[in-house]
Amino acid sequence: MVIAIIALLLSIITPALRGAKEQARKTVRAAHVKSLLTVIYVYAAKNNDNIPAGYPGNNASWNFICWQAFEEPACWINLGHLYGTDVIDDPEIFYCPSQKNKILQNYHSTGWDWKSPTGNEERAISYMYGLLAEIRAMPQLELESTKLVDLKKRALICDVFEPFEEGPVWAHPKGLTTGFGAGHVEFIKVDKEVIDVAAEMDESYGRTRNEMDLFVAAMFELLAGKKQVMEQEFL
């Protein structure tokens, strides 16, 4: 009888505990993105309302890279520019507590450690940056303005959604924590058919880098409520 009661209580409590843990993780993810938005605003205040641009010539689908050494000179790029200019003093803010992929959680107290397939050192973070660089398949989606005032409706930051051979990357299986230029953070639910496309958006599935760049641009458009590019090109 006692065992039956304990089992009944566990069946009631366990789902509630799982839900509480997920809610706590969701809150922390939102807090990290909000902190990054705050730092972007601080950077803009110091730079005539400009925020870091996408790295010239860098593929849009590499917008989770914060340091590059594949071109000279090696430098901080994308959100990493905030660290390189000392607006952020602790890079741990770049890492989502729910991220399980080893490449995207590779912050250590001694620094980053990731070698690209070409052997160059690169540093990856848990978030993708919305100021996209090169999109050869649809150049009109490349953002020209870096003025924060022009980007209020733009999704500037979101969880990484590109796949890696090392494992899954979505911090939450049903959507993306997204920070907007206006300063707010939302959890945006993403349709399963889009998530399925994202899971195959990798060269190992025969996708070209141009396709991957366009998909990243389409996803940022989708997060801002614009479905046209995603529906026309991928669905």
> Domain locations in the chain?
27-234
CB 216 within 8 A of CB 207: no
Residue 180 phi/psi, 5-degree rounding, is -110, 160
Q: 93-123, pLDDT tens digit by residue?
A: 888 877 777 777 655 544 555 555 555 667 8
Query: What pLDDT is recorded for position 50?
Result: 94
Q: What angle do CA 191, 133, 59 make, to 5 degrees?
A: 75
- Among 26-40, 57-71, 124-138, which stretch is predicted with the lowest mean pLDDT? 57-71
Residue 65 phi/psi, 5-degree rounding, is -85, 130
Per-residue confidence at 168, pLDDT binned at 50, 70, 90?
A: low
Long-range contacts of 44-52 (CB under 8 A, 24+ apart): 44/148, 46/87, 49/147, 49/148, 49/149, 50/146, 50/147, 50/148, 51/131, 51/146, 51/148, 51/151, 51/156, 52/77, 52/78, 52/79, 52/81, 52/82, 52/129, 52/131, 52/146
Q: Which two tokens stand for residue 81?
A: 């520019």
Q: 203-232, pLDDT tens digit by residue?
A: 777 788 889 999 999 999 999 999 999 999
pTM: 0.84
Contacts of 122 (CB under 8 A, 6+ apart): 65, 67, 68, 69, 70, 114, 115, 116
Q: Which two tokens stand for residue 165?
A: 């051979």
Radius of gyration of the chain (CA): 19
- pLDDT score of 64 more than 60: yes
Contacts of 8 (CB under 8 A, 6+ apart): none
Instruction: Tell me which of 18 and 180 has the higher pLDDT.
Output: 180
- pLDDT score of 39 more than 80: yes
Query: What pLDDT is recorded for position 110?
Result: 47
